[in-house]
């Protein structure tokens, strides 16, 4: 293999490029990125960057002495791929052909319909998003956060620390229940409520009001929530539209085997996992990583799109090995998914899958004190662990779960 094109110059793309070099690849390396920025760290965007503790330079993922010997094509998007020819078409009209292609185009924040052009309404996914939100928060008194996932809860906590009046609107019963389960999600919800966040549960947003700038959020029950700033945190969609007609199998992301090799679409159209396409074997010389990639996970028997920082880190080396070996290398069984989040002065850590558990028991500390560790079990077997301000004990449990894999 003499040339590799990495499409996507964020964390997953950068880590895969590093892994390629570390595994002995010394050929031509091209990194294509839609943003004008060099790779940067996204987790701080909703926390210390919004607080003003960190600035742009603090987010840089590249070290001063790093030299990937790569060609950088920044500020240009990929708009098409011919998988058979391994040819990428870019938004500036140029094309890049390579022996190997790494798809790492990430995901985009979902938006509320009808809110484009309304000032004061934000999503948070990119550095430019975070800059705009930080500017607005500096002049705001009231913020409404729509969505109780990690972005929503982190922004709510940060805004509360900044002294704003914060309302968090959650469509389900409890924020983060889909990750940590309903019982433990109540403990996290209690943290927010005790710190001053107004939490509205099972609430549905029907409209944002305001002419040029948002001034309120209207709920289905008629409640009107005044707002100077609104943050929409309702999830993200994989950036795969540019791959329509490429010859790759698409579903909730680029569908891949357990080693990250993209799967061919033998139906000739854009596929969905529910039967909308017919998958063939691996597409020669093409892998996908990061938020846009749905790898087959033998532990759960289906494709899984992992949107977390550690998922990108763990899968990058595997994808590089798959690409360089021509798909011959067989990956080790994946480690349990690990997630962390900093909210207020609390570090939340989670490993495993809550939905696999029959029981969950707090084994250390007290949720009311915002310091505890809970173990999730299927029968007698631990399948997940949640630590809240229990870093050392959580680390021991995490190692135990990873060893058991």
Give 140's strand partners: none
The predicted structure's pLDDT at residue 272 = 44
Mean pLDDT of all residues in 227-248? 97
The residue ranking higher by pLDDT, 3 or 329, is 3
Mean pLDDT of all residues in 263-274? 64
Give the integer Cα–Cα distance in Å for 207 and 222: 10
Give the integer Cα–Cα distance in Å for 185 and 127: 29
pTM (two decimals): 0.93
DSSP secondary structure, 3-48, as one string = EEEEE--SHHHHHHHHHHHHTT--SEEEEEESSSSPPB--GGGGTH
The predicted structure's pLDDT at residue 271 = 43
b/e per residue 55-82 (b: at least 16 CB within 10 A): eeeebebeeeeeeeebeebeebbbeebe
Mean pLDDT of all residues in 349-364? 94
Mean pLDDT of all residues in 371-389? 96
**Cβ–Cβ under 8 Å, residues 6 and 29:** yes
Please determine, for residue 275, whether its predicted confidence score (pLDDT) is greater than 70: no
Mean pLDDT of all residues belonging to the chain: 93
The residue ranking higher by pLDDT, 102 or 272, is 102
Give the integer Cα–Cα distance in Å for 39 and 11: 6
Q: Which residues contact 381 (CB under 8 A, 6 or more apart)?
A: 404
Start-end of H helices in 162-279 = 177-180, 182-194
> What is the phi-psi region of residue 74: left when phi exceeds 0, alpha when psi lies from -120 to 50, beta otherwise?
beta
Please determine, for residue 5, whether its predicted confidence score (pLDDT) is greater than 60: yes
Please determine, for residue 276, whether its predicted confidence score (pLDDT) is greater than 70: no
The predicted structure's pLDDT at residue 277 = 57
The predicted structure's pLDDT at residue 171 = 95
Q: List, in sequence order, every beta strand (DSSP E) within 15-146.
A: 28-33, 71-74, 78-82, 87-90, 95-97, 100-103, 107-109, 121-122, 142-146
Give the integer Cα–Cα distance in Å for 365 and 165: 30
pLDDT digits (tens, 9 = 90+) for 289-306: 999 999 998 878 889 898
The predicted structure's pLDDT at residue 369 = 92
> What is the phi-psi region of residue 326: left when phi exceeds 0, alpha when psi lies from -120 to 50, beta otherwise?
left
Q: Looking up tokens 């790779």, which residue turns up?
A: 39
Give the integer Cα–Cα distance in Å for 247 and 226: 48
Please determine, for residue 146, whether its predicted confidence score (pLDDT) is greater than 80: yes
Give the integer Cα–Cα distance in Å for 266 and 275: 12
The Cα-based distances of 186 to 19, 120, 290, 336, 383 in angstroms read 40, 30, 30, 23, 20
Give the integer Cα–Cα distance in Å for 316 and 290: 8
Give the integer Cα–Cα distance in Å for 133 and 52: 11
Give the integer Cα–Cα distance in Å for 119 and 230: 9
Give 202's strand partners: none
Quickly state the pLDDT bin for 273 (edges 50, 70, 90): very low
Mean pLDDT of all residues in 360-374? 95
Give the integer Cα–Cα distance in Å for 47 and 198: 19
The predicted structure's pLDDT at residue 378 = 95
| SS3 of residue 186 by DSSP | helix
């Amino acid at each position: 293999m003499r040339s590799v094109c990495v499409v996507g110059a964020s964390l997953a793309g950068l880590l895969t490029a590093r892994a390629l070099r570390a595994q002995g690849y010394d050929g031509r390396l091209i990194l294509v990125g839609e943003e004008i920025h060099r790779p940067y760290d996204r987790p701080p965007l909703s926390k210390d960057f919004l607080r003003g503790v960190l600035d742009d330079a603090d987010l840089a993922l590249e070290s001063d002495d790093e030299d990937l010997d790569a060609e950088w094509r920044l500020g240009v998007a990929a708009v098409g791929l011919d998988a058979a020819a391994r040819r990428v078409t870019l938004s500036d009209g140029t094309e890049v052909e390579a022996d190997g292609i790494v798809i790492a185009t990430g995901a985009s924040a979902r938006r509320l319909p009808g809110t484009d052009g309304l000032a004061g309404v934000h999503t948070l996914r990119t550095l430019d998003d975070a800059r705009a939100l930080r500017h607005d928060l500096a002049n705001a008194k009231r913020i409404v956060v729509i969505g109780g996932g990690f972005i929503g809860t982190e922004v709510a906590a940060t805004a509360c620390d900044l002294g704003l009046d914060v309302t968090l609107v959650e469509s389900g019963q409890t924020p983060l229940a889909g990750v940590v389960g309903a019982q433990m999600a109540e403990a996290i919800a209690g943290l927010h409520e005790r710190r001053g966040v107004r939490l509205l549960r099972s609430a549905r947003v029907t409209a944002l009001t305001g002419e040029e700038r948002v001034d309120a959020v209207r709920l289905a029950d008629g409640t009107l929530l005044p707002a100077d700033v609104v943050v929409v945190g309702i999830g993200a969609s994989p950036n795969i539209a540019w791959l329509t007609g490429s010859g790759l199998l698409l579903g909730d992301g680029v569908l891949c085997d357990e080693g990250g090799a993209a799967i061919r679409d033998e139906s000739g159209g854009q596929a969905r996992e529910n039967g909308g396409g017919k998958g063939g074997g691996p597409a020669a010389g093409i892998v996908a990583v990061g938020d846009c990639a749905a790898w087959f996970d033998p532990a759960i028997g289906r494709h899984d799109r992992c949107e977390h920082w550690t998922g990108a880190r763990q899968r990058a080396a595997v994808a590089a090995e798959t690409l360089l070996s021509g798909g011959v290398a067989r990956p080790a069984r994946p480690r349990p998914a690990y997630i962390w989040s900093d909210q207020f002065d609390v570090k939340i850590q989670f490993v495993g899958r809550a939905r696999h558990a029959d029981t969950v028991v707090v084994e250390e500390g007290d949720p009311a004190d915002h310091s505890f560790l809970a173990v999730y079990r299927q029968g007698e077997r631990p399948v997940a662990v949640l630590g809240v301000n229990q870093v050392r004990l959580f680390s021991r449990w995490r190692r135990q779960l990873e060893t058991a894999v």
